[in-house]
Structure 1
Protein backbone atom coordinates (compact mmCIF):
# COMPACT_ATOMS: atom_id res chain seq x y z
CA UNK A 1 0.00 0.00 0.00
CA UNK A 2 1.52 3.31 -1.13
CA UNK A 3 0.15 6.60 0.14
CA UNK A 4 0.89 9.81 -1.75
CA UNK A 5 0.10 13.51 -1.24
CA UNK A 6 0.69 16.35 -3.70
CA UNK A 7 0.78 20.06 -2.76
CA UNK A 8 2.33 23.26 -4.00
CA UNK A 9 5.34 24.21 -1.93
CA UNK A 10 4.91 26.92 0.69
CA UNK A 11 7.50 29.06 2.41
CA UNK A 12 8.13 27.55 5.88
CA UNK A 13 4.49 26.32 6.04
CA UNK A 14 2.24 25.75 9.04
CA UNK A 15 2.33 22.50 10.99
CA UNK A 16 -0.68 21.03 9.18
CA UNK A 17 1.43 20.90 6.01
CA UNK A 18 3.94 18.68 7.81
CA UNK A 19 1.19 16.64 9.42
CA UNK A 20 -0.01 15.73 5.93
CA UNK A 21 3.54 14.86 4.84
CA UNK A 22 4.04 12.47 7.74
CA UNK A 23 0.85 10.57 6.87
CA UNK A 24 2.10 9.48 3.44
CA UNK A 25 4.97 7.51 1.91
CA UNK A 26 5.68 9.98 -0.89
CA UNK A 27 5.08 13.73 -0.95
CA UNK A 28 5.23 15.67 -4.20
CA UNK A 29 5.96 19.39 -4.35
CA UNK A 30 3.58 20.48 -7.09
CA UNK A 31 5.59 23.45 -8.34
CA UNK A 32 4.89 23.02 -12.04
CA UNK A 33 1.73 25.12 -11.69
CA UNK A 34 1.34 28.89 -11.92
CA UNK A 35 2.88 31.03 -9.20
CA UNK A 36 0.20 33.02 -7.38
CA UNK A 37 1.00 36.40 -5.85
CA UNK A 38 0.05 37.27 -2.26
CA UNK A 39 -0.21 33.59 -1.46
CA UNK A 40 1.73 31.15 0.75
CA UNK A 41 4.32 30.23 -1.91
CA UNK A 42 6.78 32.95 -0.94
CA UNK A 43 5.51 34.20 2.41
CA UNK A 44 4.25 33.17 5.82
CA UNK A 45 3.40 34.62 9.22
CA UNK A 46 4.99 34.57 12.67
CA UNK A 47 3.74 36.01 15.95
CA UNK A 48 5.37 38.98 17.71
CA UNK A 49 4.56 40.95 20.86
CA UNK A 50 2.77 43.47 18.63
CA UNK A 51 0.82 40.85 16.68
CA UNK A 52 1.50 38.73 13.59
CA UNK A 53 3.86 39.87 10.83
CA UNK A 54 4.53 38.56 7.33
CA UNK A 55 7.89 37.20 6.21
CA UNK A 56 7.96 37.57 2.42
CA UNK A 57 10.63 36.46 -0.03
CA UNK A 58 10.87 39.17 -2.72
CA UNK A 59 10.46 37.53 -6.13
CA UNK A 60 10.58 38.64 -9.75
CA UNK A 61 7.00 38.90 -10.96
CA UNK A 62 6.68 41.97 -13.19
CA UNK A 63 5.65 40.82 -16.66
CA UNK A 64 5.76 37.18 -15.53
CA UNK A 65 2.09 36.55 -14.83
CA UNK A 66 2.15 32.99 -16.16
CA UNK A 67 5.42 31.83 -14.65
CA UNK A 68 5.41 28.55 -12.76
CA UNK A 69 6.43 28.26 -9.13
CA UNK A 70 9.58 26.40 -10.15
CA UNK A 71 10.47 29.24 -12.55
CA UNK A 72 10.06 31.99 -9.95
CA UNK A 73 13.31 33.70 -8.97
CA UNK A 74 14.40 35.71 -5.95
CA UNK A 75 14.52 39.47 -6.58
CA UNK A 76 16.75 40.53 -3.67
CA UNK A 77 19.48 38.21 -2.29
CA UNK A 78 19.49 40.04 1.06
CA UNK A 79 16.14 38.55 2.08
CA UNK A 80 17.68 35.82 4.27
CA UNK A 81 19.31 38.34 6.60
CA UNK A 82 16.09 40.36 6.78
CA UNK A 83 14.07 37.27 7.73
CA UNK A 84 16.61 36.13 10.32
CA UNK A 85 16.43 39.54 11.99
CA UNK A 86 12.64 39.43 11.99
CA UNK A 87 12.64 35.92 13.47
CA UNK A 88 15.05 36.94 16.23
CA UNK A 89 13.01 40.03 17.03
CA UNK A 90 9.61 38.37 16.83
CA UNK A 91 10.35 35.02 18.46
CA UNK A 92 13.43 35.77 20.55
CA UNK A 93 11.51 35.56 23.84
CA UNK A 94 9.87 32.21 23.03
CA UNK A 95 11.12 29.39 25.29
CA UNK A 96 12.60 27.21 22.53
CA UNK A 97 14.11 29.96 20.41
CA UNK A 98 17.59 30.67 21.77
CA UNK A 99 18.49 27.15 22.84
CA UNK A 100 16.90 25.12 20.04
CA UNK A 101 15.61 27.07 17.05
CA UNK A 102 18.13 29.90 16.61
CA UNK A 103 21.19 27.75 15.80
CA UNK A 104 19.18 25.69 13.34
CA UNK A 105 17.89 28.81 11.59
CA UNK A 106 21.47 29.94 11.03
CA UNK A 107 22.27 26.63 9.35
CA UNK A 108 19.05 26.41 7.33
CA UNK A 109 19.16 29.96 6.01
CA UNK A 110 22.91 29.77 5.44
CA UNK A 111 22.36 26.80 3.14
CA UNK A 112 19.95 28.74 0.90
CA UNK A 113 21.53 32.19 1.04
CA UNK A 114 22.71 32.05 -2.58
CA UNK A 115 19.76 30.08 -3.98
CA UNK A 116 17.88 31.90 -6.74
CA UNK A 117 14.83 29.68 -7.28
CA UNK A 118 11.88 29.90 -4.88
CA UNK A 119 10.98 26.23 -5.32
CA UNK A 120 14.47 25.11 -4.26
CA UNK A 121 14.35 27.40 -1.22
CA UNK A 122 11.01 25.99 -0.12
CA UNK A 123 12.12 22.40 -0.65
CA UNK A 124 15.33 22.91 1.34
CA UNK A 125 13.51 24.41 4.32
CA UNK A 126 10.72 21.81 4.23
CA UNK A 127 13.30 19.00 4.19
CA UNK A 128 15.20 20.57 7.09
CA UNK A 129 12.08 20.81 9.24
CA UNK A 130 11.05 17.28 8.30
CA UNK A 131 14.38 15.97 9.58
CA UNK A 132 13.91 17.71 12.94
CA UNK A 133 10.39 16.31 13.24
CA UNK A 134 11.58 12.80 12.43
CA UNK A 135 9.52 12.61 9.22
CA UNK A 136 11.01 10.10 6.77
CA UNK A 137 8.55 10.55 3.89
CA UNK A 138 10.25 10.68 0.47
CA UNK A 139 10.13 14.13 -1.17
CA UNK A 140 9.65 14.54 -4.92
CA UNK A 141 9.39 17.48 -7.32
CA UNK A 142 6.58 17.38 -9.88
CA UNK A 143 8.98 18.54 -12.60
CA UNK A 144 10.66 15.13 -12.36
CA UNK A 145 7.38 13.26 -12.90
CA UNK A 146 5.01 12.84 -15.91
CA UNK A 147 2.61 15.61 -16.94
CA UNK A 148 -0.95 15.42 -18.30
CA UNK A 149 -3.68 17.85 -19.35
CA UNK A 150 -6.39 18.61 -16.79
CA UNK A 151 -6.14 19.19 -13.05
CA UNK A 152 -7.34 15.79 -11.88
CA UNK A 153 -5.58 14.05 -14.77
CA UNK A 154 -2.24 15.62 -13.84
CA UNK A 155 -2.52 14.55 -10.21
CA UNK A 156 -3.54 11.05 -11.24
CA UNK A 157 -0.59 10.79 -13.65
CA UNK A 158 1.79 11.61 -10.80
CA UNK A 159 0.09 9.06 -8.57
CA UNK A 160 0.38 6.35 -11.22
CA UNK A 161 4.10 7.08 -11.67
CA UNK A 162 4.62 6.51 -7.93
CA UNK A 163 2.54 3.33 -7.75
CA UNK A 164 -0.06 4.99 -5.54
CA UNK A 165 -2.86 3.01 -3.92
CA UNK A 166 -4.19 5.89 -1.77
CA UNK A 167 -4.05 9.58 -2.69
CA UNK A 168 -4.34 11.81 0.38
CA UNK A 169 -5.69 15.23 -0.62
CA UNK A 170 -6.02 18.51 1.19
CA UNK A 171 -9.59 19.80 1.63
CA UNK A 172 -9.18 22.65 -0.89
CA UNK A 173 -9.28 20.16 -3.78
CA UNK A 174 -12.84 19.02 -3.01
CA UNK A 175 -14.19 21.60 -5.44
CA UNK A 176 -12.48 20.09 -8.48
CA UNK A 177 -10.97 16.66 -7.81
CA UNK A 178 -12.60 13.90 -9.88
CA UNK A 179 -12.68 11.03 -7.38
CA UNK A 180 -14.33 8.75 -9.92
CA UNK A 181 -11.38 9.16 -12.27
CA UNK A 182 -8.97 8.08 -9.52
CA UNK A 183 -11.12 5.12 -8.52
CA UNK A 184 -11.35 3.97 -12.13
CA UNK A 185 -7.56 3.65 -12.09
CA UNK A 186 -7.45 1.79 -8.78
CA UNK A 187 -6.44 4.78 -6.65
CA UNK A 188 -8.44 5.44 -3.49
CA UNK A 189 -8.93 9.09 -2.47
CA UNK A 190 -8.64 10.02 1.20
CA UNK A 191 -9.29 13.54 2.48
CA UNK A 192 -7.00 15.11 5.06
CA UNK A 193 -8.92 16.22 8.12
CA UNK A 194 -6.73 18.67 9.99
CA UNK A 195 -7.21 18.19 13.75
CA UNK A 196 -7.03 20.77 16.52
CA UNK A 197 -3.32 20.90 17.29
CA UNK A 198 -1.78 21.56 20.72
CA UNK A 199 -2.01 25.26 21.59
CA UNK A 200 0.65 27.47 23.12
CA UNK A 201 0.66 31.00 24.48
CA UNK A 202 2.53 33.37 22.20
CA UNK A 203 4.31 36.46 23.56
CA UNK A 204 1.35 38.66 22.60
CA UNK A 205 -0.77 36.68 25.08
CA UNK A 206 -2.90 34.75 22.57
CA UNK A 207 -2.60 31.69 20.33
CA UNK A 208 -2.80 32.33 16.60
CA UNK A 209 -2.65 28.98 14.76
CA UNK A 210 -2.25 30.47 11.27
CA UNK A 211 1.52 30.81 11.54
CA UNK A 212 4.64 29.17 10.17
CA UNK A 213 5.99 25.96 11.71
CA UNK A 214 8.95 28.10 12.83
CA UNK A 215 6.63 29.93 15.22
CA UNK A 216 5.44 26.59 16.60
CA UNK A 217 9.00 25.28 17.01
CA UNK A 218 9.99 28.43 18.88
CA UNK A 219 7.46 27.48 21.58
CA UNK A 220 7.12 23.69 21.46
CA UNK A 221 9.72 20.90 21.23
CA UNK A 222 9.37 18.70 18.13
CA UNK A 223 7.69 15.86 20.02
CA UNK A 224 4.83 18.19 21.05
CA UNK A 225 4.11 19.77 17.66
CA UNK A 226 1.31 17.38 16.61
Structure 2
Protein backbone atom coordinates (compact mmCIF):
# COMPACT_ATOMS: atom_id res chain seq x y z
CA UNK A 1 0.00 0.00 0.00
CA UNK A 2 1.86 3.08 -1.21
CA UNK A 3 1.31 6.00 1.18
CA UNK A 4 1.53 9.60 -0.05
CA UNK A 5 1.53 13.00 1.65
CA UNK A 6 1.30 16.38 -0.12
CA UNK A 7 2.44 19.40 1.91
CA UNK A 8 3.82 22.86 1.19
CA UNK A 9 7.47 23.32 2.06
CA UNK A 10 8.34 25.01 5.36
CA UNK A 11 11.49 26.67 6.61
CA UNK A 12 13.33 24.37 9.10
CA UNK A 13 10.01 22.70 10.10
CA UNK A 14 9.12 21.19 13.47
CA UNK A 15 9.49 17.50 14.27
CA UNK A 16 5.92 16.60 13.28
CA UNK A 17 6.63 17.60 9.68
CA UNK A 18 9.46 15.08 9.48
CA UNK A 19 7.38 12.39 11.13
CA UNK A 20 4.87 12.81 8.33
CA UNK A 21 7.67 12.45 5.78
CA UNK A 22 8.87 9.28 7.51
CA UNK A 23 5.32 7.87 7.64
CA UNK A 24 4.84 7.82 3.86
CA UNK A 25 6.50 6.35 0.77
CA UNK A 26 6.37 9.57 -1.27
CA UNK A 27 6.25 13.10 0.08
CA UNK A 28 5.22 15.69 -2.50
CA UNK A 29 6.21 19.30 -1.86
CA UNK A 30 3.14 21.31 -2.86
CA UNK A 31 5.07 24.41 -3.85
CA UNK A 32 3.17 25.48 -6.94
CA UNK A 33 0.48 26.84 -4.63
CA UNK A 34 0.13 30.55 -3.86
CA UNK A 35 2.66 31.92 -1.40
CA UNK A 36 1.03 33.03 1.85
CA UNK A 37 2.53 35.76 4.03
CA UNK A 38 3.24 35.40 7.74
CA UNK A 39 3.12 31.63 7.44
CA UNK A 40 5.50 28.70 8.00
CA UNK A 41 6.79 28.87 4.42
CA UNK A 42 9.59 31.30 5.31
CA UNK A 43 9.83 31.29 9.10
CA UNK A 44 10.05 29.16 12.21
CA UNK A 45 10.81 29.43 15.91
CA UNK A 46 13.82 28.67 18.09
CA UNK A 47 14.15 28.72 21.89
CA UNK A 48 16.10 31.44 23.66
CA UNK A 49 16.55 32.49 27.30
CA UNK A 50 13.89 35.15 26.62
CA UNK A 51 11.38 32.70 25.15
CA UNK A 52 10.68 31.65 21.56
CA UNK A 53 12.13 33.75 18.76
CA UNK A 54 11.11 33.85 15.11
CA UNK A 55 13.70 33.31 12.38
CA UNK A 56 12.25 34.73 9.17
CA UNK A 57 13.71 34.45 5.67
CA UNK A 58 12.99 37.76 3.91
CA UNK A 59 11.30 37.32 0.53
CA UNK A 60 10.31 39.64 -2.30
CA UNK A 61 6.54 40.12 -2.16
CA UNK A 62 5.88 43.72 -3.23
CA UNK A 63 3.55 43.67 -6.22
CA UNK A 64 3.70 39.86 -6.37
CA UNK A 65 0.43 39.01 -4.69
CA UNK A 66 -0.34 35.94 -6.80
CA UNK A 67 3.13 34.42 -6.91
CA UNK A 68 3.52 30.74 -6.17
CA UNK A 69 5.78 29.39 -3.44
CA UNK A 70 8.25 28.06 -6.00
CA UNK A 71 8.38 31.50 -7.66
CA UNK A 72 9.11 33.36 -4.43
CA UNK A 73 12.58 34.91 -4.36
CA UNK A 74 14.69 35.40 -1.26
CA UNK A 75 15.60 39.04 -0.62
CA UNK A 76 19.37 38.81 -0.93
CA UNK A 77 19.82 42.49 -0.01
CA UNK A 78 19.58 41.58 3.69
CA UNK A 79 22.14 39.56 5.71
CA UNK A 80 19.42 37.13 6.84
CA UNK A 81 21.59 34.00 6.58
CA UNK A 82 24.36 35.43 8.75
CA UNK A 83 21.77 36.66 11.25
CA UNK A 84 20.02 33.28 11.44
CA UNK A 85 23.28 31.42 11.94
CA UNK A 86 24.35 33.90 14.61
CA UNK A 87 21.04 33.35 16.43
CA UNK A 88 21.42 29.57 16.23
CA UNK A 89 24.98 29.74 17.54
CA UNK A 90 24.12 32.10 20.38
CA UNK A 91 21.22 29.98 21.61
CA UNK A 92 22.41 26.43 20.91
CA UNK A 93 26.21 26.40 21.11
CA UNK A 94 25.94 24.86 24.60
CA UNK A 95 23.62 22.10 23.36
CA UNK A 96 25.28 18.64 23.46
CA UNK A 97 25.20 18.04 19.70
CA UNK A 98 25.65 21.54 18.30
CA UNK A 99 29.10 20.78 16.86
CA UNK A 100 27.94 17.62 15.14
CA UNK A 101 24.88 19.23 13.56
CA UNK A 102 26.65 22.46 12.60
CA UNK A 103 29.12 20.58 10.38
CA UNK A 104 26.42 19.91 7.79
CA UNK A 105 24.03 22.73 8.68
CA UNK A 106 26.36 25.74 8.68
CA UNK A 107 27.04 25.69 4.89
CA UNK A 108 23.38 26.48 4.24
CA UNK A 109 23.94 29.78 6.04
CA UNK A 110 27.60 30.55 5.45
CA UNK A 111 27.54 29.81 1.73
CA UNK A 112 23.94 31.02 1.22
CA UNK A 113 23.64 30.07 -2.46
CA UNK A 114 19.83 29.90 -2.69
CA UNK A 115 17.87 32.41 -4.75
CA UNK A 116 14.39 30.96 -4.23
CA UNK A 117 12.62 30.02 -1.02
CA UNK A 118 11.51 26.60 -2.29
CA UNK A 119 15.08 25.59 -3.08
CA UNK A 120 16.31 26.65 0.36
CA UNK A 121 13.48 24.79 2.10
CA UNK A 122 13.95 21.65 0.05
CA UNK A 123 17.70 21.69 0.62
CA UNK A 124 17.29 21.96 4.39
CA UNK A 125 14.49 19.38 4.50
CA UNK A 126 16.61 16.94 2.50
CA UNK A 127 19.66 17.43 4.73
CA UNK A 128 17.64 16.87 7.89
CA UNK A 129 16.05 13.74 6.41
CA UNK A 130 19.48 12.35 5.56
CA UNK A 131 20.70 12.95 9.09
CA UNK A 132 17.66 11.21 10.56
CA UNK A 133 17.92 8.32 8.09
CA UNK A 134 14.54 9.07 6.48
CA UNK A 135 14.58 7.42 3.05
CA UNK A 136 11.20 8.65 1.78
CA UNK A 137 11.16 9.76 -1.85
CA UNK A 138 10.60 13.54 -1.99
CA UNK A 139 9.23 15.08 -5.18
CA UNK A 140 7.54 18.35 -6.18
CA UNK A 141 3.98 18.88 -7.37
CA UNK A 142 5.42 20.77 -10.35
CA UNK A 143 6.84 17.44 -11.54
CA UNK A 144 3.28 16.31 -12.32
CA UNK A 145 0.19 17.44 -14.24
CA UNK A 146 -2.16 19.30 -11.91
CA UNK A 147 -5.92 18.99 -12.05
CA UNK A 148 -8.36 21.78 -11.17
CA UNK A 149 -10.08 21.89 -7.79
CA UNK A 150 -8.51 21.82 -4.33
CA UNK A 151 -9.35 18.26 -3.31
CA UNK A 152 -9.50 16.87 -6.84
CA UNK A 153 -5.92 18.02 -7.41
CA UNK A 154 -4.69 16.15 -4.32
CA UNK A 155 -6.50 12.96 -5.30
CA UNK A 156 -5.21 13.22 -8.88
CA UNK A 157 -1.63 13.67 -7.67
CA UNK A 158 -2.01 10.50 -5.59
CA UNK A 159 -3.23 8.62 -8.65
CA UNK A 160 -0.30 9.86 -10.76
CA UNK A 161 2.20 8.40 -8.29
CA UNK A 162 0.16 5.20 -7.81
CA UNK A 163 -0.68 6.11 -4.25
CA UNK A 164 -3.18 3.90 -2.46
CA UNK A 165 -3.33 5.83 0.84
CA UNK A 166 -3.28 9.61 1.30
CA UNK A 167 -2.00 10.91 4.64
CA UNK A 168 -3.29 14.40 5.45
CA UNK A 169 -2.65 16.81 8.27
CA UNK A 170 -5.65 17.29 10.59
CA UNK A 171 -6.15 20.96 9.65
CA UNK A 172 -7.26 19.89 6.17
CA UNK A 173 -10.47 18.39 7.59
CA UNK A 174 -11.99 21.85 7.11
CA UNK A 175 -11.73 21.76 3.31
CA UNK A 176 -11.05 18.24 2.00
CA UNK A 177 -13.96 16.55 0.21
CA UNK A 178 -13.39 12.90 1.06
CA UNK A 179 -15.59 11.74 -1.84
CA UNK A 180 -12.83 12.47 -4.37
CA UNK A 181 -10.54 9.97 -2.64
CA UNK A 182 -13.35 7.45 -2.24
CA UNK A 183 -14.21 7.66 -5.94
CA UNK A 184 -10.54 7.17 -6.84
CA UNK A 185 -10.21 4.14 -4.57
CA UNK A 186 -7.69 5.93 -2.33
CA UNK A 187 -7.83 5.54 1.43
CA UNK A 188 -7.75 8.85 3.32
CA UNK A 189 -6.05 8.91 6.72
CA UNK A 190 -5.56 11.79 9.14
CA UNK A 191 -2.14 12.29 10.68
CA UNK A 192 -2.02 12.60 14.46
CA UNK A 193 0.43 15.10 15.97
CA UNK A 194 -0.40 14.65 19.64
CA UNK A 195 1.40 12.54 22.25
CA UNK A 196 5.00 13.57 21.65
CA UNK A 197 7.30 12.96 24.64
CA UNK A 198 9.41 15.76 26.02
CA UNK A 199 13.16 15.71 25.43
CA UNK A 200 16.06 17.50 27.15
CA UNK A 201 15.68 21.11 26.07
CA UNK A 202 17.47 24.35 26.90
CA UNK A 203 15.92 27.53 28.23
CA UNK A 204 12.98 27.11 30.57
CA UNK A 205 9.70 25.25 30.21
CA UNK A 206 9.36 22.70 27.42
CA UNK A 207 8.04 23.84 24.03
CA UNK A 208 6.97 21.33 21.34
CA UNK A 209 6.29 23.58 18.37
CA UNK A 210 9.77 24.91 17.64
CA UNK A 211 11.98 23.95 14.70
CA UNK A 212 13.32 20.39 14.64
CA UNK A 213 16.80 21.91 14.88
CA UNK A 214 16.09 22.34 18.60
CA UNK A 215 15.64 18.57 18.93
CA UNK A 216 18.70 17.79 16.79
CA UNK A 217 21.00 20.16 18.66
CA UNK A 218 19.91 18.72 22.00
CA UNK A 219 19.63 15.02 21.16
CA UNK A 220 21.62 14.29 18.00
CA UNK A 221 21.15 10.75 16.70
CA UNK A 222 18.93 10.00 19.71
CA UNK A 223 16.33 12.40 18.28
CA UNK A 224 14.43 9.45 16.79
CA UNK A 225 13.55 8.31 20.32
CA UNK A 226 11.36 11.40 20.62
CA UNK A 227 9.62 10.96 17.27
CA UNK A 228 6.88 8.58 16.12
CA UNK A 229 7.88 7.26 12.71
CA UNK A 230 11.65 7.74 12.53
CA UNK A 231 13.53 4.52 13.25
CA UNK A 232 16.02 4.55 16.12
TM-score, normalised to structure 1, is 0.95
1:103 aligns with 2:103: yes
- Give the distance between the partners of 2:217 and 2:195, measured in 1 at CA: 19
- Alpha-carbon RMSD across the aligned residues, in angstroms, is 1.3
1:2 aligns with 2:2: yes
1:161 aligns with 2:160: yes
| Deviation per residue, 1:28-70 (Å, 9 max, x gap) | 0001111111100000000011111111100001111111100
2:151 alignment counterpart? 152
Between stretches 83-92 and 193-202, larger displacement belongs to 193-202
User: How many residue pairs end up in the alignment?
Assistant: 224
- 1:89 Cα deviation from its structure 2 partner: 0.7
1:81 aligns with 2:72: no
| Deviation per residue, 1:140-191 (Å, 9 max, x gap) | 0111111111100111111111001000000011011111111111111011
- Give the distance between the partners of 1:105 and 1:131, measured in 2 at CA: 12
Consecutive unaligned residues in structure 2, runs of 5 or more = 228-232
- Give the distance between the partners of 1:102 and 1:123, measured in 2 at CA: 18
- Give the distance between the partners of 1:56 and 1:205, measured in 2 at CA: 23
SS at match of 2:54: strand
- Give the distance between the partners of 1:159 and 1:35, measured in 2 at CA: 22
Runs of 4+ in structure 1 over 6 Å off? none
- Give the distance between the partners of 2:193 and 2:46, measured in 1 at CA: 20
Consecutive unaligned residues in structure 1, runs of 5 or more = none
- Give the distance between the partners of 1:27 and 1:171, measured in 2 at CA: 16
Q: Is the 8 A contact 1:32 1:142 kept in 2?
A: yes
TM-score, normalised to structure 2, is 0.92
